[in-house]
Amino acid sequence: MQAPGAPGSPASSGSTNGEPIDEQEALARLRQSEDASLQYYAAWWLGRNRSRHPEAVPLLLEALRQRRPRDPGAGVEENAVARNAARALGKLGEASAIPDLLATLEDGDDGLREAAARALGELRADAAVAPLLRRLASGPQGAGAQRSDSPRLQEPCEAMLEALGAIGVGGEAVCAVVEPFTGHERPLIRSAACRALLQLTGEARWASDLVALLVHPHLQVRRAALMDLGAVGWRPALEPICRSLAENSLKLIALRGLVEHGEAHEPHTKTTAVLDAMDTLL
């Protein structure tokens, strides 16, 4: 789940003075390789502004291949550039990037695998289903277990589960891999698994777990549930979403999802009802 302001959207890049740049400047910054922080910002910029310039994708694919081991003291590492490149390629809807992103899904850097998984989800890449299932097959105790050296999990499970839901290829094999994660100890992982199952099966039982998370004591969990219900467009959750204790901005994003993705779920909840609810949150 990407909350607004997540890493990858530079609030202030050290090497810019905060002035807005244009497309030519972004491409120039991405082209050079002496200053990684400029590349980092440029990759983000191209994705955020949905660049259609013919050089954008080749340069982003180049940047996707840049690697440098993580060195906390060195400022912005090269892998961070690759991560922003992956995110941007997802936002650009660039299907030709799928092979490179599939390769990135096998990288040793789990942050990079996370960005690649999200991008493949945005691209609805059917070819990603098999590798994602392979990586998640070991379940909550394997892929979902915590690493010894950090609070992160062995695999970026949240991103991978969401990607499976977004790609939309369902069936027994997929559900068999995803379902165990609905019992993971971390609520954010459970939320991602329920969201994916809801998207893949449309079965209301997966929604009730998500709706219950809307009243979880932790704000972070409530936010995740809001985003997940919005991504699915689960209209029966209209009331609980409105009542949830969270920022109006997130509720508005969730309700937008109900409007744009939700026609199939509970046809009785008309679009007008969701729009009226959105109005009250402005």
Interface positions with other proteins (CB under 8 A): 245-249, 252-253, 256, 259-260, 271-272, 275, 278-279, 282
Residue 260: CB minimum distance to other proteins, A: 5
User: Between residues 15 and 271, which has the closer beta carbon with respect to other proteins?
Assistant: 271
User: Between residues 32 and 271, which has the closer beta carbon with respect to other proteins?
Assistant: 271
Residue 26: CB minimum distance to other proteins, A: 16
Nearest one of 240, 238, 241 to 249, comparing CA atoms:
241
CA distances from 145 to 27, 30, 142, 190 (A): 40, 36, 5, 13
User: Between residues 98 and 277, which has the closer beta carbon with respect to other proteins?
Assistant: 277
Nearest one of 125, 110, 160, 121 to 139, comparing CA atoms:
160
Residue 141: CB minimum distance to other proteins, A: 34
**How many CB atoms are located within 10 Å of the residue 102 CB?**
17
Q: How far apart are CA 119 and CA 233, in angstroms?
A: 20
User: Between residues 232 and 259, which has the closer beta carbon with respect to other proteins?
Assistant: 259
> Rounded to 5 degrees, what angle do the CA atoms 236, 242, 243 make?
105
Residue 219: CB minimum distance to other proteins, A: 8
Residue 23: CB minimum distance to other proteins, A: 15
User: Between residues 17 and 272, which has the closer beta carbon with respect to other proteins?
Assistant: 272
Q: Which residue has the tokens 């929604």?
A: 207
The DSSP 8-state label assigned to residue 45 in this structure reads H
